[in-house]
Structure 1
């Protein structure tokens, strides 16, 4: 985005970048735990030290990868709608250049996406040849095999991926399962100009229309890619709504309190088996509350080393998200081929996570860095 004049006090976007870094690392660690550490049933059968038991129990906190993607959706809606939100706050109207919008989105997202497609193809083909058991879903582990059975290079997986709709026909492009959320994102970008036409009529009309589409899809459409797109749409729109709210006023303390309360309630509730229609309401609360809490953090934390580290990682989060899984799956395939199972300890998972981060940094330098845009500054 073109750089605008910086105001006296900028919206806390640095912490949102740090949030993206935390979320990307969380997803990576969760996949490393799943693919490179034995499941609980095997773990409980062996003798282990008390401290390793504590670490194993703590690692169970990495099982919320799907919820993390929901926060990514809210972040996406926030950043995409931020420029229009600023215009609305200043003059209660906005201008939108359709051609420029899509040119920028394609320039920013497609080259790293193509890079990840090629990386997945190369790594997976080598893995298929050297360590075939995992890739052929023949490990004997029900969770692994039921997941990897849908990962291949058939026309059902290749054609949707080439049209920016990976996994939309039920098959992942190779091992790269995380691609599924990119298909959703690309559709939301296509919907955005149409949604803005309704948004011109007013905020209520815009957001109620989006939520109505989700409710209609949930109750009237059979399980399908389109239905899943629609029922996730309010999560993306919740980020857009937060963008409009934040550019208009400072956050009062009671909003921060409500955000912490909403985050706590939504996190507890997602652990229960509620219907999908209610779960996606919880995901809206989860995503929007997280954004509000993060942007309310004081500017004094910007120079803290941990914040700066995750802010740095956050700038590379797109590459990390779309490139990490084939690498982790390759190591897992080697482990299963050599030892017949995943390791009983977590050291290989940790080392692989660190090595994968370093490789993704290299991939970022090779590709994504050349297609990044400057940041919009808002008061």
Structure 2
């Protein structure tokens, strides 16, 4: 194997606009779960004004946000695979070390925090929220039955929704299984199509393709993930403009089309992910082609900061919100003046909580990767800075 210190491809220019998109997507997931867990359904609301109706309309894009994550993941992770294969620096060992450490550094504490909040909530309150009978769409299971060691182990190896349920109340973990298997499937296909093949590469590729057949429910999302890879391919063939025009018209028009697709999915109850995925792909392509960057330094810094801990936010917010709803309120509340205050306070609490998790765990991802490399090879750890920066746009 080549010296791992020379395996990182050249660093790509950072795009803070993609950071902003990722941060907004993570916020949309959190907002959607806040609405569904803490507030009564729209049909049960009485006397809603225009602001209240707007809140219910824009706060239900959690699943759509995950589609955006898939596209960004394909662009960053899949694009990184293609660059490494193209420069002859590809290694399954390095790739799996980076991906698994990136996933587990937050997943392990998130699972333990799920166990903590769920057990405490069941002990203090129990009732409809934890039995799945409150009526909210996002929580319809008996949480206690999903807290077994077997389910914990199943989630650790990314088989949730495939061989078991998501752990405890942490429903958002469903997409992490998708991400992991896409991480494995794509490079397996690349290895099979490439010229350099070894016994180990064939074995991993055969396993990956076998799971692709065994897990048909993941294949549609994989298509969306591959759209993200296509972004990286198109970017290589047609690089971004060196100088951005005063008005990025392509980005503006494609952005409007993307927003229109989002609105249509809500107005006409369309649930086909490709209706949003394709316009999102076109929008992201225009952002990259026109080299769109955030002009305001404060907005750029905020986008980068919130993007950095979006993975921690994604994995930790749901059990925390459920605990507060069950123990603090006992039932879902109307979206009135008090509801606005509750929403604001809970959003702040979720972000502060996730940021603490980021500081304790996610921020140390590169350090963990370096230690894993030392244990594996006894060599100096590879420089994973470039890879870590490039992968800010993924769900992980």
**Same-fold call, TM cutoff 0.5:** yes
Ranked by relative contact order (alpha carbons within 8 Å, sequence separation 6 or more), the top structure is: 1
Question: In the alignment, which residue of structure 2 is the partner of 1:207?
Answer: none
State the distance in 1 between where 2:182 and 2:215 align: 11
Is the contact between residue 114 and residue 168 of structure 2 (CA under 8 Å) also seen in structure 1?
A: yes
Q: TM-score, normalised by structure 2?
A: 0.75
Which of these residues, 225, 247, 250, is aligned with residue 236 of structure 2? 247
State the distance in 2 between where 1:299 and 1:267 align: 22
1:238-281 alpha-carbon deviations (Å, 9 max, x no partner):
1011011113323587864774465256435534466x7xx243
Query: Does 294-303 or 98-107 show the bigger shift?
Result: 294-303
Relative to structure 1, the CA distance from residue 78 to residue 5 in structure 2 (aligned partners, 3 Å threshold; closer, same or farther) is closer
Which of these residues, 211, 214, 223, is aligned with residue 234 of structure 1? 223
Instruction: List runs of 5+ in structure 1 lacking aligned partners.
Output: 202-216
Which of these residues, 84, 106, 110, is aligned with residue 104 of structure 2? 110
1:74-111 alpha-carbon deviations (Å, 9 max, x no partner):
111111122344468xxx67542111110111122112
CA-CA distance at 1:127 after TM superposition: 0.5
Query: Does 366-375 or 299-308 show the bigger shift?
Result: 299-308
Relative to structure 1, the CA distance from residue 262 to residue 168 in structure 2 (aligned partners, 3 Å threshold; closer, same or farther) is same
State the distance in 1 between where 2:82 and 2:138 align: 43
SS of corresponding position for 1:125: helix
Is the contact between residue 151 and residue 173 of structure 1 (CA under 8 Å) also seen in structure 2?
A: no
Query: Does 103-112 or 162-171 show the bigger shift?
Result: 162-171
Is the contact between residue 164 and residue 182 of structure 1 (CA under 8 Å) also seen in structure 2?
A: yes
Question: In the alignment, which residue of structure 1 is the partner of 2:169?
Answer: 175
Matched, 1:136 2:131: yes
CA-CA distance at 1:17 after TM superposition: 1.7
Matched, 1:361 2:355: yes
CA-CA distance at 1:117 after TM superposition: 0.5
Instruction: List runs of 5+ in structure 2 lacking aligned partners.
Output: 196-211, 242-247, 367-383, 391-396
Question: In the alignment, which residue of structure 2 is the partner of 1:98?
Answer: 92
Q: How does 1:5-154 map to 2 (within 5 A)?
A: 11-44=13-46, 47=47, 50=49, 53-86=50-83, 94-133=88-127, 134-139=129-134, 141=135, 143=137, 146=140, 152-154=146-148
Is the contact between residue 71 and residue 228 of structure 2 (CA under 8 Å) also seen in structure 1?
A: yes
State the distance in 2 between where 1:257 and 1:251 align: 16
1:99-155 alpha-carbon deviations (Å, 9 max, x no partner):
11101111221121101011101111000100101112243x363663567972246
Relative to structure 1, the CA distance from residue 86 to residue 96 in structure 2 (aligned partners, 3 Å threshold; closer, same or farther) is closer
Relative to structure 1, the CA distance from residue 130 to residue 227 in structure 2 (aligned partners, 3 Å threshold; closer, same or farther) is same
State the distance in 2 between where 1:144 and 1:151 align: 17
Q: TM-score, normalised by structure 1?
A: 0.78
Question: In the alignment, which residue of structure 1 is the partner of 2:209?
Answer: none
Superposition RMSD on alpha carbons, in Å? 3.3
State the distance in 1 between where 2:329 and 2:304 align: 35
Is the contact between residue 74 and residue 239 of structure 1 (CA under 8 Å) also seen in structure 2?
A: yes
Relative to structure 1, the CA distance from residue 176 to residue 305 in structure 2 (aligned partners, 3 Å threshold; closer, same or farther) is same
State the distance in 1 between where 2:166 and 2:101 align: 24
